[in-house]
Structure 1
Amino acid sequence: MATVEIITQNIQNLAIRQQQLERLIQQTEVHNEQLQMFLFDLTDYNQGLSVITDLVSEESTEQVDDIKVTAIEHVLSEQRKYLVEVIRLLEETLEEDMQPALLGQSSGGLRRILSSLKGLVEMNNYLSQDNRTFQRNYLSEQNIPVQKPKQNFLKRLFGKS
């Protein structure tokens, strides 16, 4: 019984982090195509987490704090930790065949979820690597000073306003 509770708690933690990433993605505005591609990949990954997070009630994820772009690595790291733990527990459950109807899923459904979770861990690793470049480019894009419109040639030449 403790295994089910641990799995459920990890899934709820994943769901909270999923909502935080979703809000961050919606609030982040970028103009560079490379930065947009990273956000699209992050969106795909975040939506992929629904494979497992949809299995828990949404009541537990109502109150989520906003995060900043600089916290993406931390969130991805935590999600990877939760995913690896859920994978380990699901594999143990399937090997022991203790509870074939875990999370309302048959053993075949759990195996499909397990395969999806392994793919999400791999995608998480790729996003963690790409995040370093994204952070560097995003922060430099945000620090670019706004250029003032240039005066026309005659105004600059004669100094009249």
Structure 2
Amino acid sequence: MRSAPEAIRSLPANTTYGTLHCGSNPGGPCNETTGLGGSRPCAGTCKTEYHEYAMELDRSGGTEELRRYVDGEQFHSVKETAVDTRTWADATHHGHFLLLNLAMGGGFPDGVSGQRTPTPATQPGGSLSVDYVSVESTGGASK
């Protein structure tokens, strides 16, 4: 997206966010509506260059972990011990789907910048470009 609503422009420039949402809103085990999240600056420019974003659900060890990456560098993780057993199972032990979305409005970035969107300055017509999507699975324990 080459231009962003004013509220997004007020966030740290070239930043990637990743968040686990689960449970009930407001509050709940994942602190909704904020969620359990992390962020990191992008290498280069998030808005004008392609980057590789990845999410890994690791079930190979004694403690499961969800990890997020940008360009091969991990920037966020949540271990199953961060929430109760039922919440983790409800969030991770089922099929998943991929949603590619260019959203306007909603609660984000309210928890980060204190601003709700859309604002009167919000303009439609943004774009989202995706070069490719890959879903991979490796061996190991699965539930």
Calculate the TM-score normalised by the size of structure 2: 0.29
Of structures 1 and 2, the one scoring higher in RCO (CA 8 A, sep 6+) is 1
Q: Considering only CA atoms, is the larger Rg found in Structure 1 or Structure 2?
A: 1
Which one has the bigger strand percentage?
A: 2
Which one has the bigger helix percentage?
A: 1
